[in-house]
Amino acid sequence: MNTATYKKTYSLPFTFDDVLKLIKSFSMEDKVRLEKELEKETLIYRAQKLSENIKANDLTMEDVVAEVMEYRKRKDAKGSFHSG
């Protein structure tokens, strides 16, 4: 039997619910394969969205050191207050 390969494009009016119903009929193995493909397809999009939500860090090392010293002062003050 000789099998020919044809490359044709069809445009069918699928809704999201149609596609979802089709996916639900897949085997678990095919669902996992689809999940991995979707993860690859959406990785850049998700990374961009995450990047938009992360605020820029403009702290300097001096800011961090000053904050740590302030914390230690408060901690020491509380420690000596409670031990008295």
- The domains of the chain are located at 16-83
CA distances from 54 to 6, 45, 46, 48 (A): 48, 15, 13, 10
Which ranges of 1-84 would DSSP assign to H, the alpha helix? Answer: 16-24, 28-53, 61-83
- The amino acid present at 39, given as its one-letter code, is E
Model pTM score: 0.45
Q: How far apart are CA 82 and CA 29, in angstroms?
A: 61
Give the tens place of pLDDT for each residue, 37-84. Answer: 999 989 989 898 888 888 888 889 999 999 999 999 998 888 765 544
